[in-house]
Chains A and B, each alone.
Chain A
Amino acid sequence: MSWDYAALLPGAIVLSSLLPGVFIFLLQEESHILRTVLNLIGAVAKLVLVALLIYGVWAGQVFETRIAIAPGLTLVLNADALSVLFVTLSTVLWLVTTVYAIGYLEHSTNRSRFFGFFSLCVSATVGIALSGNLLTFVIFYEVLTLATYPLVAHRGTPEATRGAKIYLAYTLSGGLLLLVGAVWLRTLTGPVDFQEGGVLGHLSADVHGQLVVIFALLLAGLGVKAALVPLHGWLPQSMVAPAPVSSLLHAVAVVKAGAFGIVRVVYDVYGVELASQLGLLAVLSVLASFTIVYGSVMAMTQDGLKKRLAYSTVSQVSYIALGTSLLGPVATIGGLVHLVHQGIMKITLFFCAGNYAETLGVANVSQMDGVGRRMPLTTLAFTVGALGMIGIPPIAGFVSKWYLGLGGVEAGQHWVLLVLASSTLLNAAYFLPILYRAWFRAPPAAWPKEHHFHTRFETMGALLWPPVITAVFCLLAGLLAAAPFSPLEWARLIAEREYGL
């Protein structure tokens, strides 16, 4: 272990939220200001560190923290282009979500516990992003499960406890399968780090049978968090969590960790060539496509706004898996860029859903008549997110779908276009009615549970600005897709390295 800057930075990025989290647990419930300060210091410090990281990676520097747990078992945190993509996403969105959560939970109970686990959750996500080998990945993946469980159960109602239990049952079982897969793989390869192009190329064909089984185990473990059908059952149930948690779970942490894991396993463990040779990509693409369509269909049937968004997540996250499963750099770009785009769009939608619930007591689609007049800025942000999800240019979602479609054509898999088209239609079918209600229907005489904040805006500032900001991100990501450092450009960089272009 060396102690220079490059070896410390990845570890410091994880610790920058972990340490404040630990202190937040120890705080008295009454210390609002100290807690807020700790939260923001952590979030801003992480942002600064990530900025340093991006600059360094761009300049070609190698960042790697290695801690030997035991002989042959090493905790590796390193920053390649793919990590940077995910780390940046989680860090930026964490800052926004922290602000939102501070406003959202202003008069709530158990805030020390909440923000403590909130910080742990982000530390685990960043850890997943920076993991340099499967052992590290598994460790942070499980820590993420543990850190999110108390967040889902936070409200303490019987439904919350039940939802949390279901969440835990799914994710812990998945985690075990992942663990078994990782251990098994390790008996074949010995200690290896993630590597672009895969690390299994040298193995003889005799073990290919084993590799298929291992892939099934890994995919099952990752698929639970990525909510691949039929492993998605926990996701709608965990909607009982407070809105900032749902935002984080759906946009950044849990679901994304699963999808990110699939990308890692396919690209940096198996390698696309071996994965496609073993027929694994075909299976993945079928699963992903089915999930895309199934999630959209289910979303249409939901009246609860958060549940509708949840099924939308089931569908949208599988775009990433779909992009990964199609052979060829263009599809890869589409999948990877959607990792970011889905995150900023979905977090916008969840923030808005939280605002409707907090300000007006509106939780169902059927109650949303005229919310656009009462809360124009929020609804505008919601509209941007929803149109982006459908894939209307120039919002971010369009870019993802464009590259995915092109990638499908490039790979000779034209049925992908069919999947995308039907998904887009379904997206429109479940989002457009909401927009119609919000903007064009007359508001009711009284809102279900209106809450007046002493502000000149439609709702409290800490609740209002985060969705507005993320909505602006959605627009910028689409409009400036070709600019340097845009998500698309990073995705292109990663794809080029993976395919050795």
Chain B
Amino acid sequence: MSDPLMTAPLVLCIALPLLGALLVTALPRWSVSLGIVSALATAGAAVALTAAVWQQGTLHLILGGWDATLAIALHADGLAAALILMVNLVGLGISVYATDYFHDRLRVGAFWPLWLLLWAALNGLFLAGDLFNLYVMLELLGIAAAALGALTGNRDAVAANLRYLLVGLLGSISYLLGVALLYTAHGTLDLGLVAQRIAAAPELFAVDAAAMTLMVAGLALKAALFPLHFWLPPAHANAPAPVSAALSALVVKAAFYLILRLWLDLFWPITGMAAAMLLASLGAVAIVWGSWRALRAERLKLLAAYSTVAQIGYLFLFLPLLTATPPGPARDDLLAALLLMALTHGFAKAGFFLAAGLVQTHAGHDRIDDLGGTAQRLPATTFAIAMAGSALIGLPPSGSFIGKWLLMQSAIATGQWWWVVVVTTGSLLASAYVFRVLSRAFGLEPTPVRFVTDARAEVPALTLALVSVAVLGLASGPLWRLLELGSAGGGA
């Protein structure tokens, strides 16, 4: 079943960043070069993984050669492969940017191993096919993320990330209790097998529902779903820019991915409209509230952080639509749209934060009202913010435009038209907060000399933003194929 060569990318996606983390820990003097090499290797493994899924469909590997129930499985379907590709390309961009961002030797030495561990955790999380292994990955992710977030060492950052760590721990424990209940009732930890047993034992509805509540609640805390988002804005706004990018674009997305994975593949026999509506309503409030706070934010990075709260909300709107749509092309469209929104936000938010970090470095602050000169002096960076911003709003031709188009189409088709109102309101508020920043770029400052000032820092931000706007919006067709190939989960 598992030709080692075929499934090698599954392992390498996790082992390579892990090895990289070890090397940069052991050889701090070489951390930048070793770090970049590891980043390239990891991204290469992720591309290979996506290519393998593209060619052969879902990859499944049982580690250790034991029975499926006893061992841990790694699993990559289309959904995971697409997200892995996004995470790793964004990760590569962040890595290149980081080579130019940190200058203090101690901070360079601290950043790289933690960042590579975070990366390993992300890849591990997307590929995990085992409920308890997911818990370990969540903890690795949470600890590495909090440590990275506190890297600046200033008081606000430490306080915010301490809170982030504790909240994340609470979420993981809640998740773990759910896993314990599932193991008690179903006797295995393998995601696919538990799913089969849940489907086969409808009489255990109460137990499964309780486990789902505990797990989803714990993950919603980590995904910062309103009203559990309180920890996110300070933690993301006070971290160093490359870390903010990783936290906002990738880490939160990982928690959402898990919720989706559980929803679609594990608990699908018991998920109902009521639960979906509850989560989507919270998502709707998150959209409006997060966008509103972003509009009121005084600092650029805080704005970006609140925008993440709102953008996560959009992803939850898909749950009741998925529940209401029977399997078929319409549901495929919906899943692809959801994925497209998540991917676009990943690229766009990372680009936004990287660009915001540059603005902050050059201006010495990130107060939006005083950004004029800096925004005009760095055209490429302002462009990155503009493009990422249009992707956040959902303007064409960004990926989220297609995502929102399909979301609204499905909302109208299933009669849940009220989500259209939410999406429209959210888009308007998003335009307001994005253009509030961009309008600073049109002042009476002197004309910039050239487009790109600082290539190593500006090009990654610009590239990530460009992907979110042009590539994802105009060529999203392959996602459908990836999802089609990977629909091995129990979902439909």
CA A139 – CA B394 in complex, angstroms?
A: 11
Contact partner, B451, options A25, A68, A161, Cβ 8 Å: A25
A45 close to chain B: CB less than 8 A: no
Q: Mark A49-75, 1 if CB is under 8 A from B, else 0.
A: 000000000000000000111111101
A186 adjacent to chain B (CB < 8 Å): yes
Q: Which of B329, B396, B409, B452 has the most CB of A within 10 A?
A: B396
B408 near A139: Cβ-Cβ < 8 Å: no
> In this complex, what residue of A is CB-closest to B431?
A172
Q: Mark A155-198, 1 if CB is under 8 A from B, else 0.
A: 01100110011001000110110011001101100000000000
Near A by CB (< 8 A), chain B positions 427-455 give 427-428, 431, 435, 439, 442-452
- With the chains together, A109 CA to B449 CA distance in Å? 11
Whether B405 and A179, one on each chain, are in contact in the complex, defined by CB atoms closer than 8 angstroms, is yes
* Bound CA span A179–B413, Å: 15
A153: Cβ under 8 A from any B Cβ: yes
Within 8 A of A (CB), among B395-437: 395-397, 401-402, 404-406, 408-409, 412-413, 420, 424, 427-428, 431, 435
Tell me which residues across on chain A come within 8 A of B447, comparing CB atoms.
Answer: 29, 109-111
Determine whether the beta carbon of B427 is less than 8 Å from that of A176.
yes
Whether B397 pairs with A143 at a CB distance below 8 angstroms is yes
Whole-angstrom CA separation of A186 from B406 in the bound complex = 10
Question: Would you call A304 an interface residue if the criterion is a C-beta within 8 Å of the partner chain's C-beta atoms?
Answer: no
The reply to whether B401 and A139 form a contact with Cβ atoms under 8 Å apart is: yes
> What A residues does B479 contact at CB under 8 A?
70
Closest to B408 in A: A183
Residue of B nearest to A110 (CB): B447
Q: Could you tell me if A71 and B477 are in contact, using CB atoms closer than 8 angstroms?
A: yes
List residues of chain A with CB within 8 A of the CB of B405. Answer: 73, 135, 179, 183
| A146 and B476 contacting across the interface, CB-CB below 8 Å | no
Q: Do residues A176 and B428 form an inter-chain contact, with CB atoms below 8 A?
A: yes
Q: Which chain B residues lie closer than 8 Å to A113 at the CB level?
A: 379
Question: Smallest CB–CB gap between A24 and chain B, Å?
Answer: 10
B451 to A: closest C-beta gap in Å: 5
Q: Are A156 and B442 in contact (CB under 8 A)?
A: yes
The reply to whether B476 and A69 form a contact with Cβ atoms under 8 Å apart is: yes
How many whole Å from A134's CB to the nearest CB in chain B? 11
Contact assessment for B424 and A142 in the assembled complex, using a CB-CB cutoff below 8 Å: no
Q: Does B431 contact A168, Cβ atoms closer than 8 Å? A: yes
> Does A445 count as interface, using CB distance less than 8 angstroms?
no
- Known contacts: A69-B474, A73-B402. The answer to whether A157 contacts B444 by CB under 8 A is yes
Residue A33 lies at the interface, judged by CB distance under 8 Å to chain B: no
Is the CB of A422 closer than 8 A to any CB of chain B? no
Nearest CB on A from B264, distance (A): 20
Closest to A26 in B: B451
B336 at the interface (CB under 8 A from A): yes
Interface membership of B156, Cβ < 8 A? no
From B329, B405, B420, B452, name the one whose CB has the most chain A CB atoms within 10 angstroms. B405
- Judge if B274 is at the interface, Cβ distance under 8 Å: no
Chain A residues whose CB sits within 8 angstroms of the CB of B431 once the complex forms: 168, 172
B336 CB to closest chain A CB (Å) equals 7
**B residues in contact with A149, CB < 8 Å:** 435
Q: Are B451 and A112 in contact (CB under 8 A)?
A: yes
Known A-B contacts A139-B401, A176-B427, A180-B420; the reply to A186 vs B409 at CB < 8 A is yes
B contact set with A: CB distance below 8 Å = 329, 332-333, 336, 379, 383, 390, 395-397, 401-402, 404-406, 408-409, 412-413, 420, 424, 427-428, 431, 435, 439, 442-452, 473-477, 479-480
Given A75-B474, A150-B442, A165-B439, 20 new contacts (CB under 8 A):
A25-B379, A26-B452, A28-B451, A29-B447, A29-B448, A29-B449, A67-B474, A69-B475, A70-B479, A71-B480, A73-B405, A109-B447, A142-B395, A143-B397, A157-B444, A160-B442, A172-B428, A172-B431, A184-B408, A187-B413
A-B residue pairs, 8 tightest by C-beta: A139-B396, A153-B442, A109-B447, A183-B408, A187-B412, A70-B476, A156-B444, A156-B443
Q: Would you give 21 A-B contacts (Cβ < 8 Å), ordered by A?
A: A27-B451, A28-B451, A29-B449, A29-B450, A68-B477, A70-B336, A71-B332, A71-B477, A71-B480, A72-B329, A75-B474, A139-B401, A140-B396, A142-B396, A142-B401, A146-B395, A150-B442, A154-B442, A160-B442, A168-B431, A187-B409
